[in-house]
Structure 1
């Protein structure tokens, strides 16, 4: 059976090799394991229920003649079904569940019944606009949906050995290859990228070179102006320049990040150095100039797009959940080929902030956009509601969240070509070794302590323990003796242990809260600070201030001590403890415009104790004002 893991490559070009998720079992009482458990018990069943309620599955029945309902949903609603199947497949591989077998049987049976003889399947085109079949590539998402179909089918085959969904998908791939591939009937590229990485994974799964060639061809066709961008322009679709010459992320954020994941897959499989260098520069600029502190991306509502460098508004951040997921997939692939400690740091930031903030504690209500500030008078918009909702008109994010959480254990550890083993993310889990089991015990990131033990034979090769970039000090216990993490280990981002020393080893990081300053080029947050503790970003919610002050009136002195609070509201202690600081607040609103040189009156301000909570938990106590970046108290 093929390995069931994210980016399951065996390429000699990789620095790391993913582990099968069946060999990494997250403790369901730990933070990441609890998220997987809720995902399997609540989120995935909720997705199936919503797909039935909103008509996404009924659209297939309509074509099959078993439903008389009109087409419902957006033109790409099929993809939400495919992403849900993928989430189920990961869950089946992880737990062996059969709870969704009947639903899968029906949906895959419907797909087989309505697929056209040439392999084409799209319920909106076939049932509403058959004349548009493969005619409007910029907007109709046909190849995007096929990409999600492929990823679901490959995962299902790897998890269970069930090939029927993959057999159907390969027929559609053959049609795309014949029409738009090398030597095809005409030029064409997807308006919404996603198929590229799926085709590379199909190549890995089947061994067929034609799938790799098709992925490479679709990437090489970009920059030729093939797509009709209309008033959105070519940048929106990443069709403004060849990929090898595109060093700045631009346009629709999810499209760009999915494209980069696919291009990096091609690099892993041996693509030329020009593509590799383009990905290095894209990654650098994306994460140094266009990433929110939470690990979110995309600053513009109008086209769900990246803005200019350092254009990162807080209250108007779009920060689509799918963009974080796409970046996690891209950054994971970059970490497999580049020895850059920042990759694991970014994944950690995403896993503990932007991703968990996108859904509530029940796993059944979601954010589509994820602002880092919520003003008290902010009204709900279609994809930017004031509080999480159970579904969206464009429900791309909920099933995307589910498929990523279902595979979380695949991001925890990896092996090296020399047989070495690396812990990349810290979570309570069991990991299968060649002749034993490695147990990881930790309450990370609430605690900085991680304990290791081995049952059975210790690995012969080295075990690498990641040292996150935010760490400034810590200790390691080896063979019962403590020592400080060295400066070289801090710089390298790794503590290396022999396999025998891993049994009984401990590593502990200093988790003292720290204030982070905003980059001075980010106008929206210039002069502001944000509170972090380990990988966790904190925020202030109006619900914790009551009548004592308004969130937007707070000013912070970052030299004042930060205290961990003893009172732990239900659920929050699983992430990190609330933190308390003393802040200055205005009691009255100041004029909108005032003399900048005038002496400020001190009588209209007062001290207030401020409670900050992990951003990942915000909004669970109802809608209201929130902010991460707090203005720094100026000197009088």
Structure 2
């Protein structure tokens, strides 16, 4: 498309809303057309609604709102000076929370949400400088001289990106344009300041790319799309090295268009690729999209945990080398899972390929959901796949603390809030004559030609009932069949309809009539999985999955005396499956046979000799597994996803 051609702007309450000119296979059903009405995710969203309200209190206590008041002259000496508190990116937590408020209002309108939105938006507007610049911490700590002085670490564009995303959400969900006016002034300032023929530089933390494309989609201003293009293409040419920084951490070692995988800081990396995907679809850049498709595939095959978690190194919160996926040292930051969800969703809209729906599902149910408590107000920053029984917390983010209400670096909690409130926007998408259902929940969907009511007990049951509530004639209903769903079936009004091939979509073309019922049945067999042989950290181990859920063994569920650090699983009969309505707000558990190791009678230093000094297997016991997302909601103690597989005779296999 021409850079000066205005887009055809679609309407709808969606965080990623491609224009009609975008090269996508479908457009999302926003929160105005998709609503979760019951079941598993409705419970999580109700908890999330409380979290959004508590979030305002947390931002007050942490000082984020105080910074904005100071910068706007609303407290202290009234002259816009004073002592800022918190990290330089403190404003971004306010903006993510404001975005969460917008999606929550769209989900469940409430006057108290509007009041908080207006109040905080006014603080943000008052803090903005006359030329559009806005970052309260930089303004308070170093004034105009500090602007963009240390872009690798200052997060100035990062904060701007989250403000823009919040502003777009706010106008789409509430109609209030106050924050959008702030965002437009800030974006115009960036357009005037950065670019190939202006200041040639990029921020150390991507997100501005996604935000500028979305602002272009909302306003039709081509300059925002062009600046997003500049920021994507400028990265990877040593700009961070000019500050004396190591470029890999900042995804600045290889240009985006030449990269074959993701590397460096995990959140930065996937925010960048999500923004590049937006750019590719709005500019019709098929070569860039193909490159991003290859990058995602490589990441998924070699740098992603079983849970969909991203980032294996605590050092620099980073991706490691291919297959470097230690379960106990997994970083798997909650924000990285959210960034992965954002990227997978954009790739799904662009390509229509079911593998992106599968990836989205794995990250949602496991990598993302593990980051928030069942109550919705306590969080994990880091999501390991194993916690040893002797683990002691060594710093603020350590999961050995248990779930926490806030963090010194509080990027994850408001990120969870905005994702949870906007979750219905990930269920389905529409194209002319087609409605595609990507994720399953009890919900209502209002496509262009077809309206549906979904009823399901997913993920505990694999049956999804879809009743047609409205039809304007002949259209196609596409239903994703997860790659794990061997033996899936689909019927229309009781008659078998089409092959339900795992890893693809069932496509049902009909002259649909209200009242017709489609039943999709996804067998929830228990799967025992192994890792790629090059993941040496879990070689010889297995993990358990059922449906979309990864399972974990938690200390509190085991028999007295069983130490999870020592157990092995015994090959044998299938796992015993039991739904427990009173456990962890209702979960399905798996029970298998295992064997705890018995410590040697006499301590011997490592290595143990071959003559019997190693631990000796004990008697078989029942071992109980729960969904991974639900661990650490009762106590904080040993947990593991990967468990060594023993042999039937009790010796190591």
* Structure 2 CA distance for partners of 1:362 and 1:518, relative to 1, 3 Å: same
Q: Secondary structure at the match of 2:188?
A: helix
1:2 aligns with 2:2: no
C-alpha displacement of 1:555: 0.7
Deviates more, 1:112-121 or 1:615-624: 112-121
Contact 1:247 1:282 in 2 (8 A): yes
2:562 equivalent in structure 1? 549
Deviates more, 1:378-387 or 1:559-568: 559-568
2:25 equivalent in structure 1? 15
2:6 equivalent in structure 1? none
Q: Aligned partners of 1:407 and 1:566: how far apart in 2?
A: 28
1:395 aligns with 2:410: yes
2:443 pairs with 402, 413, 429, which one?
429
Q: Aligned partners of 1:126 and 1:444: how far apart in 2?
A: 49
* Structure 2 CA distance for partners of 1:566 and 1:432, relative to 1, 3 Å: closer
1:578 pairs with 589, 595, 599, which one?
589
Q: Aligned partners of 1:364 and 1:601: how far apart in 2?
A: 44
Q: Aligned partners of 1:602 and 1:366: how far apart in 2?
A: 36
1:37 aligns with 2:46: yes
Structure 1 residues 176-215: aligned runs within 5 Å: 176-184=190-198, 186-215=199-228
1:51 equivalent in structure 2? 59
**Alignment deviations for residues 121-146 of structure 1 (CA, whole Å, 9 cap, x no partner):** 11111111222111111100000000
Q: Secondary structure at the match of 1:465?
A: strand
1:219 aligns with 2:232: yes
* Structure 2 CA distance for partners of 1:292 and 1:604, relative to 1, 3 Å: closer
* Structure 2 CA distance for partners of 1:568 and 1:37, relative to 1, 3 Å: closer
Question: What TM-score do you get using the length of structure 1 for normalisation?
Answer: 0.95
Contact 2:22 2:284 in 1 (8 A): no
1:494 aligns with 2:506: yes
1:163 aligns with 2:177: yes
Q: Aligned partners of 1:64 and 1:557: how far apart in 2?
A: 64
Contact 2:215 2:224 in 1 (8 A): yes
Q: Secondary structure at the match of 1:429?
A: strand
Q: Which runs of 5+ in 1 are unaligned?
A: none
Q: Aligned partners of 2:398 and 2:284: how far apart in 1?
A: 39
1:348 equivalent in structure 2? 361
2:319 pairs with 306, 321, 332, which one?
306
1:136 equivalent in structure 2? 150
Q: Aligned partners of 1:513 and 1:505: how far apart in 2?
A: 25
1:587 pairs with 575, 598, 620, which one?
598
**Alignment deviations for residues 151-201 of structure 1 (CA, whole Å, 9 cap, x no partner):** 0001111112211111111111111111112422x2111110000010001
Contact 1:433 1:459 in 2 (8 A): no
Contact 2:72 2:128 in 1 (8 A): no
Contact 2:29 2:447 in 1 (8 A): no
* Structure 2 CA distance for partners of 1:2 and 1:619, relative to 1, 3 Å: same
**Alignment deviations for residues 278-311 of structure 1 (CA, whole Å, 9 cap, x no partner):** 2011101111101111111001111000000000
Question: What TM-score do you get using the length of structure 2 for normalisation?
Answer: 0.92
2:426 equivalent in structure 1? 411
* Structure 2 CA distance for partners of 1:527 and 1:601, relative to 1, 3 Å: closer
Q: Which runs of 5+ in 2 are unaligned?
A: 1-9, 77-81
Q: Aligned partners of 1:153 and 1:491: how far apart in 2?
A: 37
Q: Aligned partners of 1:247 and 1:50: how far apart in 2?
A: 40
1:24 equivalent in structure 2? 34
CA RMSD, Structure 1 to Structure 2 (Å): 2.1
Q: Secondary structure at the match of 2:623?
A: strand
1:73 pairs with 62, 86, 96, which one?
86
Contact 1:587 1:606 in 2 (8 A): no
Structure 1 residues 271-310: aligned runs within 5 Å: 271-310=284-323
C-alpha displacement of 1:49: 0.6
2:489 equivalent in structure 1? 475
Q: Secondary structure at the match of 2:154?
A: coil
1:451 aligns with 2:483: no
C-alpha displacement of 1:104: 2.4
1:251 equivalent in structure 2? 264
1:151 equivalent in structure 2? 165
2:331 equivalent in structure 1? 318
**Alignment deviations for residues 331-385 of structure 1 (CA, whole Å, 9 cap, x no partner):** 1000111242210011111111121111111111000000000011112122123
Q: Aligned partners of 1:592 and 1:465: how far apart in 2?
A: 57
1:334 aligns with 2:338: no
* Structure 2 CA distance for partners of 1:475 and 1:390, relative to 1, 3 Å: same
C-alpha displacement of 1:117: 1.1
* Structure 2 CA distance for partners of 1:317 and 1:592, relative to 1, 3 Å: farther
* Structure 2 CA distance for partners of 1:435 and 1:246, relative to 1, 3 Å: closer
C-alpha displacement of 1:455: 2.5
**Alignment deviations for residues 542-585 of structure 1 (CA, whole Å, 9 cap, x no partner):** 11124231001111134432001354433342xx4111001111
* Structure 2 CA distance for partners of 1:507 and 1:122, relative to 1, 3 Å: same
C-alpha displacement of 1:419: 1.5
Contact 1:568 1:578 in 2 (8 A): no
Contact 1:358 1:367 in 2 (8 A): yes
Q: Aligned partners of 1:622 and 1:454: how far apart in 2?
A: 44
Q: Secondary structure at the match of 2:557?
A: helix
Q: Aligned partners of 1:428 and 1:591: how far apart in 2?
A: 57
Q: Secondary structure at the match of 1:48?
A: helix
Q: Aligned partners of 2:352 and 2:74: how far apart in 1?
A: 54
Contact 2:357 2:438 in 1 (8 A): yes
2:522 equivalent in structure 1? 509
Q: Secondary structure at the match of 1:92?
A: helix
Number of aligned residues: 628
